Amino acid sequence: MIKYRMKVCSVAKIRKIDELASKEFGIDLSLLMENAGDAIYSLIVNELGINKRFIVIAGTGNNGGDALVVARRLFSCGSYVEVFIVGDPSKYPEPAKKNYELVIRLGIPIKVIKDVNDLKYLEESLRKCDVIVVGLIGIGLRGDVTGIYRDVIEIINNSNKVVISVDIPSGINGDNGRVCGIAVKSTYTVTFGMPKYGNILYPGYYYCGKLYVSRLSYPPKLYESEEITVELNVPIPPPERVRWGHKGVFGKFLTVSGARYYYGAPYYVAYSFLKAGGGYSRLAAPKSIIPYIASRCSEVVYIPLEETSEGSIARGNYEYILKIIDMYDVDIVALGSGVSLNEETQELMRDLVGSIGKPVIIDGDGITAISKDLNVVKSRKASTVITPHLVEFSRLTNLSIKDISEDPVRILRKFCKDLNSYIVLKGAHTLIGFPNGYVYVNMTGNPGMAKAGSGDVLTGTIAAMYGIGYRDVGDAVRMGVLIHGLAGDLASEELGEDGITPDDIMNYLPKAMKVLREDLDLIISRYMPKVL
């Protein structure tokens, strides 16, 4: 297996690394700027070749200085290069100012864009070029992109040319991936030191195109620092599936799920556990719905429960459910998928969360239940996994979706610590938070998986990872999320994104597990940014 680890940081953290690089190691900004330009030049050589016409568009900050180094390197190798500077060049700080002066001395054609009247020159040059290198606005972006900068980005995006972004696509917020009014749609992005949150979180990741990372001259001590507590979710080798194992060896699972008219959730949770490699799956559900689910899935063992008048699980089942967990020595329990919002059932979910002494996964309506009393989670001794989508996380935290989207990593970290829980914030590039505040960003998955029932498959998959031997709950959660997304990707390749269903995701779980067991390097090469 390729040894691969990639941490991800905030804008403030990369600036701190720059400061430490200078103070502790004597690595000044001029060297880092030269490294940055060389890294993009290397990408061009490897991916595109230098026998092309290049336009370099630079702002008047250090991001623009990096782009000017690229212009010098291309010019020195005989490429045709034109430079357009947006803004007042007299505002260049050092060492970007030095690179601006070098571009002039080298005789590289240069044009300053100050207002809309200058845009015609840019449009004319872009029509003739092959590749655009953009270092317009870097991680120092504040507020929305407006004025001449917005006009320039619109022209770039309408050019239909290959676009290479310097560090981060101009217009993307480096801390949350948000598009600040408008952003450069890139073919390639080379980010420096390590990815920033905005390079990895959507929609920023989409705007990056193919993402590369250059370590510049940073020593590993800085970019592998224990103070950086976010990283990409890379595959962990699975435990051996022992030849003499029986169903109990690969996990004993119970899901308490379902209600009248909610047949899919319990089915997907219970069956996906088996499809992902788990050994023994039991489903405790309202007795009236079990015959229907059993007709679809005879592999699961069913436990009929008494019902409320609305067809949900009655609170009177409390002692019986705890007895089942103890009697069958259940390893892990899932609660809440499709149990409805019936108040009696909601109370039962809270009672069970507070009483079960085994790892518990809480999903769906179970999240609504605990959001009314978070103390039942805080007081648990065994591990707790909560799997909300953004709306459910908003309900759980009592924060608006807008506020969460502005700072998702920090907010997730805070609530994982507060609840002493693993929280899987589902979405494009799902975030996996640990009770100690560490966060992993998952890279598998696709928008075709945005279907009702997909989250129920995830719940069963996480439980399966625990069952097959990832006995560190955090590892089980990470690999459950990774495998779930990989199964969705394999399904979409075969069937197309639009039409894949939770059944398709579930049916590709065995193939996803096969990839995890046989070719971890394939997962790394497919999903993780390449280091230049």
**What one-character DSSP code corresponds to residue 315?**
G
**What one-character DSSP code corresponds to residue 414?**
H
Distance CA 299, CA 503 (A): 15
Distance CA 258, CA 266 (A): 5
Distance CA 66, CA 86 (A): 14
Distance CA 203, CA 183 (A): 10
Neighbours of 225 (CB within 10 A): 15
Q: Structure tokens of 255?
A: 């899901």
User: Which residues does the chain have with pLDDT short of 50?
Assistant: none
Instruction: Please report the pLDDT score of residue 245 as a whole number.
Output: 86
Instruction: Please report the pLDDT score of residue 280 as a whole number.
Output: 97
DSSP H/E element including 104: helix 96-106
Contacts of 114 (CB under 8 A, 6+ apart): 87, 88, 148
Distance CA 313, CA 36 (A): 60
Distance CA 85, CA 162 (A): 19
**Identity of the amino acid at 185:** K
Q: Structure tokens of 303?
A: 């436990």
DSSP H/E element including 343: helix 343-355
Instruction: Please report the pLDDT score of residue 1 as a whole number.
Output: 63
Place of tokens 């978070």: 374
Distance CA 163, CA 189 (A): 8
What global pTM score does this model have? Answer: 0.96
